[in-house]
Amino acid sequence: MKKIDILKKLRSSGLRPTKQRVEIAKFLFEREKTFHFTVESLNKLLTKKSASKIALATIYNTVHAFKTAGHLSEVEVRGNKTYFDTNVSNHHHFYDSDTSELIDIDSNDIIIQKIPKAPNGKKIKNVEVFINLIN
């Protein structure tokens, strides 16, 4: 994904391409592989990488704006930090509690044969599988 696409991506979702947003978006979206992060880890990586310092509040604002726009998803893992994911398609995860690392599993790599029906009046929105790892 090139810079022009980043600008398009932001503009098309009603987000002004500010210096900060472009920098964060380039960091998050100009990569081959899926990226899982917390706001804290993203902040550290951005501080290390770039010259200009972005306020922590801006990173929170931006990550939430990207999530609302559908450019990031939120993943639930153990712990009290919120994890975000550049993979917004339906997929599953390995979770290595040793390193607190998430690894994507393609939706097609897990097949569920039997599943209970949803309770009274509710519908199934989606199914998420977590495979917890140990050494």
For binding to its own copies (CB under 8 A), which residues are involved?
A: 74, 76-78, 80-82, 94, 96, 103, 105, 109-116, 118-119, 121-135
Decide if 34 contacts 28 (C-beta within 8 A).
no
Does the protein bind DNA through residue 54 (CB under 7 A)? yes
**Looking at 5-100, which runs of residues are DSSP E strands?**
36-38, 73-75, 83-85, 91-96
Window 6-25: contact mask with DNA (x via CB under 7 A): -----x--xxxxxxxx----
Which one of its own copies, DNA, Zn ion, none interacts with residue 18, CB within 5 to 8 A by kind?
A: DNA
- Nearest CA-CA partner of 20 in 55, 49, 44: 55
Beta carbons within 8 Å of 1's beta carbon, 6+ residues apart: 9, 29, 30
Rule CB under 7 A: choose which of 5, 12, 31, 40 binds DNA. Answer: 40
Give least dist CB 114 to DNA, A: 33
Give least dist CB 23 to its own copies, A: 27
Nearest-angstrom CA–CA distance, 117 and 83: 29
Does the protein bind DNA through residue 64 (CB under 7 A)? yes
